[in-house]
Structure 1
Amino acid sequence: MALLLAATAGYWTFGRGTPRPTGTWAMGGLLGAFALAFASYAPLIEDAVETLVPHVARLLSNSASLGAATAVVAVILQLNLDPTEARRRIRVRLALLVTAVASMTILFTYEQLTHRSPQAYALYLLLYVSYLGFAVVDFLIQAVRQSTSTRRRSVRIGLRIAAAGCVFALIYVAYKTTRLVDLGLGLGLIDSTTECSTLVGRCAFSVTAPALAVLLICLGLTLPAVAYPISQARRRRWEVQSFEALGPLWQDLSTAMPHIVLSPADTEDVSTDSDFLLQRRVIEISDGVLALRPYRSREVQEAVQVTVDAGTVHGAAAVEAAIVKAALADLKAGRFSDNVAPPSAEAASRKDLQGDTEWLLLVASAYVGHARRVAADGRPQRVGA
């Protein structure tokens, strides 16, 4: 876990190119602090540092946990607030972090000099639990608030996963609070002399709960960064497929009306510039359909409407495809329509590139033969069953 988190922290901080997105350094600090915390639990690292200073691994892991909790809050504040307000709040929390870690270090030193004074250790735990609980609740509130307002699905899911991690962090805080009360009152409820060897019993609260908290919080905060390139790849694939599917309709329109074709693009490689090329093709087809307005036959429209369910989007697309095909035949023959069919209401309802593309894909599919074909004289004929 420590090596995985350290590698992720290195990638997040140094391997993401420029310009760096908001929260890059906070996320790097978060992952790095968690890596240090987990490394301090590893017997190899723990034995190495404790040969120099006895029991110092506890101070290192606790300090790293507080640093990670502060970084978590910094990330969410940068997501939720404007930069000025976020920086102001983060500075306050950094000051609290420095104060808490410095005080814990002083108490740890005093505890070692007094042969592990239970009073010093109780104060140490009080500082640790107080700041950790404050940071966890602070992040939980911000995460829940942001998850209800964000529009990106991956961010919403990620923040809810991170909020679930906070629940396990609060279980760990509750355990530490119980430990503090046990020390203060001398109840002897928790045996701290034996080390954890399993993930059940006392270890479920002292090791398993914080481990799950780290896992869920890191997963939740990194999910949007992982999901974004996947969603972009899926979108590019849809754009390329849509560009090719619109080809037959575009070809007929541009052949009949070459003026609808816009200036050539710098690149015709659909895989590298699918967004621009698809948008251009949609615009050119829309311009072509608009240019056919004087040739749109209401007779064709009414003839097709009786054979399809024009109240559905697929039926409306079939009607539009038949009108366009007949209008192209009339354009070629130089025959204007005496009774012009109105533009499709379904087309007018689409307000963005994706909506326009989805509509034209249905029209293009019907155009190549799903609903009607147009004979040489420009009149519709029934095809298929």
Structure 2
Amino acid sequence: MNYVFLGMSLMLAAASGYWMFGRGTPRPTGTWAMGGLLGAFALAFASYAPLVEDAVEALVPHVARLLSNCASLGAAAAVVAVILQLNMDPAEARRRIRVRLALLAAAVAGMTLLFAYEHFTNRSPEAYALYLLLYISYLGFAVVDFLGQALRQSASTRRSSVRIGLRIAATGCGFALIYVAYKTTRLVDLALGLGLMNSTAECSTLVGRCAFSVTAPALAVLLICLGLTLPTVAYPISQARRRRWEVQSFEALGPLWRDLSAAMPHIVLSPAGTEDVSTDSDFLLQRRVIEISDGILALRPYRSRDAQEAVQATVETGTVNGAATVEAAILAAALADQKAGRLPDDVAPRSSEAASRRDLKGDTEWLLLVASAYARHAGRVADGGRPEPVGAWAHD
């Protein structure tokens, strides 16, 4: 048990230090509350360890119980503070947090006084019952408060990592409520003098009676901490994946962009310079998509319906890939006609698939398909004429 509780305590203490001091500035909303939450849980688990319990109780008998219970209430208050800061505007969050901190201070002060009274009256059962009532009242209130906020936020958030994290934390609240129910049962047993539960027995395993007194709160802590930290862990991973996609997309659009910008230099918004795409991928990709779109728009008078119909006869036009292949063929022919100064007899309309894209990501995904088809089938525009038809475009 020493290894379990001390190991979890060290892990949570390290996580608390990272949250409060290792994340740089400016610190995100809820940083200090999250650090306090992890630190309180670390203290609670340390007090559960028999080694620590024996050391502190050699000074004051049974004080480990007070330390762990107060740390648990502090962690519960910090959990609620985190979710309130995420869900509400700062002023309202601060007002509600102050109320909960005042209740926490009252509960801890009352528990401390009752513990001292119990200590000097030879473990008065009445004093212990009142102590336990204060403890489970505040803990149950905090767990239910957090559970309601977490479920409400998980139903409205758009970030999948936040939604999954809050649902994991809500599952942890379920185990916390099991622990509260166990403590309530102990309180009723003590108040009625039934003697059904042995309050002096120590836990040496994680099963049996200890499943309610030790395992349930341990699982609650792990799930709540995992749920609240998941978005922070997932965010840099998602950002790295996004930057990788942006860099790859920027490079994949290169051949089409180079042909369009060579034929129409005015579409380039600013000199490319020596920008590093890996450090400014978002801006550079957005600029490249805009420049390609401007080039396609400038080629409208050269969009040949003959080229469109010739390719439509050889591809599945009902699919996105088929539509991209048709668009790539039209662009290749339009570039060749624009360079030769030829206007088609009949102008092909804009692709309906392109018109359906409503945001930058959608535009990029569409242009990636067009650029892929353009590079695969059309090749680069040759000097003085149309590109040689290849594969499905060899229809003459």
Report the TM range for the smaller structure's normalisation.
Answer: over 0.9
Q: Do the aligned residues in 2 keep the contact of 1:296 with 1:323 (CA within 8 Å)?
A: yes
1:157 matched residue in structure 2: 164
**Alignment of 1:55 onto 2:62:** yes
2:104 paired with 1:97: yes
Shift of the 165–267 alpha-carbon distance from structure 1 to 2, 3 Å rule, reads farther
Query: What do residues 141-197 of structure 1 show as CA deviations (whole Å, max 9, x unaligned)?
Result: 110010000000000000000000000000000000011111111111111222101
Distance of aligned partners of 1:82 and 1:57 in 2 relative to their CA distance in 1, 3 Å threshold? same
Please list, as runs of the form range in 1=range in 2, the aligned pairs for 1:358-373 lying within 5 A after superposition: 358-370=365-377
Corresponding residue to 1:381 among 379, 386, 389: 389
TM, length-normalised to structure 1: 0.97
**Partner letter of residue 193 of structure 1?**
T
State the partner residue of 1:279. 286
Q: Pick the aligned partner of 1:84 from 79, 91, 96.
A: 91
Query: Would you say the 8 A contact 2:378–2:387 is kept in 1?
Result: no
1:172 matched to 2:170: no
Which amino acid is 2:209 matched to? Answer: R
Letter matched to residue 383 of structure 1: G
Counterpart in 1 of 2:18? 11
Deviation readout 1:1-47 (Å, 9 max, x if unpaired): 00000000000011111111111111011101001100111223222
Shift of 1:264: 2.7
> Which position in structure 2 is the counterpart of 1:142?
149
* 2:347 counterpart letter in structure 1: V
Match of 1:119 in 2: 126
Verify: 1:46 aligned to 2:53, yes or no.
yes
CA contact (8 A) 1:267 1:273 kept: no
User: Does the 8 Å CA contact 1:100/1:131 hold for their aligned counterparts?
Assistant: yes
Contact 1:373-1:382 at 8 Å conserved across structures: no
Q: Give how far 1:254 is off.
A: 1.2
In structure 2, the residue matched to 1:129 is 136
1:384 is displaced (CA, Å) by: 5.1
C-alpha deviations, 1:70-103, integer Å up to 9, x for none? 1101111111111111111111000000000000
Matching residue within 311, 322, 338 for 2:329: 322
More displaced, 159-168 or 366-375?
Answer: 366-375
Q: 2: CA distance between counterparts of 1:24 and 1:57?
A: 28
Would the aligned equivalents of 2:314 and 2:392 in 1 still touch at CA under 8 Å?
no
> Is 1:221–2:228 an aligned residue pair?
yes
Q: For residues 266 and 117 of structure 1, do their structure 2 counterparts lie closer, same or farther at Cα, with a shift above 3 Å needed?
A: farther
Shift of 1:337: 2.1
Verify the 8 A CA contact 1:373 1:380 in the aligned structure 2. Answer: no
Report Cα offsets for 1:216-270 as digits up to 9, x if no partner.
0000000000000000000011011111111111111111111211213575211
- Of 334, 339, 344 in structure 2, the residue corresponding to residue 337 of structure 1 is 344
> Counterpart of 2:360?
353
- Normalization by structure 2: what TM-score? 0.94
Q: Name the stretch that deviates more: 264-273 or 47-56.
A: 264-273
In terms of mean alpha carbon deviation, does 258-267 or 99-108 score higher? 258-267
For each residue in 1:348-385, what CA deviation from the matched residue of structure 2 results, as whole angstroms up to 9, or x when unmatched?
A: 21121111110000001110134899897538735159
Give the gaps of 5 or more residues in structure 1.
none
Amino acid at match of 1:378: R
Q: 1:184 aligned to 2:201? A: no
- Whether contact under 8 Å (2:175, 2:219) holds in the other structure is yes
* 1:152-301 equivalent positions in 2, closer than 5 A: 152-264=159-271, 267-301=274-308
Match of 1:29 among 32, 36, 41: 36
Question: How many residue pairs are counted as aligned between the two chains?
Answer: 385
The runs of at least 4 consecutive aligned structure 1 residues that moved more than 2 Å come to: 264-267, 369-382
Three-state SS of the structure 1 residue aligned to 2:349 is: coil
Amino acid at match of 2:18: Y
Report if aligned partners of 2:77, 2:104 keep a CA contact under 8 Å in 1. Answer: yes
3-state SS in 2 of match to 1:381: coil
The answer as to whether partners of 2:40 and 2:72 remain within 8 angstroms in 1 is yes
- Identity fraction in percent: 83
For the 8 Å contact 1:318–1:371, the answer to whether it is kept is: no
User: How far apart, CA to CA, are the structure 1 residues paired with 2:40 and 2:200?
Assistant: 27
Give, in whole Å, the separation in 1 of the partners of 2:12 and 2:274: 41
Letter in 2 for 1:314: N
Q: Within 2, Cα distance between the matches of 1:336 and 1:24?
A: 63
Alpha-carbon distance, 1:311 to partner: 2.0
On the 8 A contact 2:136/2:184 being kept in 1, the answer is yes
- 2:77 & 2:271 partners in 1: Cα distance? 52
